[in-house]
Amino acid sequence: MEPQERRIDQRNHSYAKAFLPDHNAIGYIRDISTGGFRIEALGDPGIPEKVEVTAVFIPNEEMRFPPFTLRGRVEWRHENPPTTSLGIAVTRYVSPGSARLFRRFRKIWKRLAT
């Protein structure tokens, strides 16, 4: 007999972590679009809106591509303890190939999220 699903909330899938080295913060990528992404940071990293941050995307091993780095501006933040959501607009691709990797990640994200 199959165990009955008893979770009330759906679980969020995560296909990548994000590290914000300027603020020693880590979180999970929860959404991605052409011009930006949303990080669900663990705790409150204390990053105000309109601040530019460096973000290192660390894709899960199953995705089979390397970490990449970009810069972005925090457009909004929403605290819902124990995490803080940060909406970040991409301002610059930093590491070699990061623009291509970001587009590839977004394409995979769209396919997996549907």
For residue 77, what are the domain limits? 16-113
Q: Is residue 107 part of a domain?
A: yes
Q: Is residue 47 part of a domain?
A: yes
Structural domain count, the chain: 1
- Percent with pLDDT over 70 in the chain: 87
Distance, CA of 53 to CA of 71 (rounded, Å): 6
Q: Is residue 95 part of a domain?
A: yes
Quick one: pLDDT at residue 1? 53
Q: Is residue 28 part of a domain?
A: yes
Is the pLDDT score of 32 beyond 60?
Answer: yes
Residue type at 43?
A: G
pTM metric for this prediction: 0.84
Q: Is residue 79 part of a domain?
A: yes
Cβ-count burial 20-34 (b if 16+ within 10 Å, e if not): beeeebbbbbbebee
Tell me the CATH number at 106: 2.40.10.220
Q: Is residue 7 part of a domain?
A: no
Q: Is residue 5 part of a domain?
A: no
pLDDT tens digits, one per residue of 80-105: 999 999 999 999 999 999 999 999 98
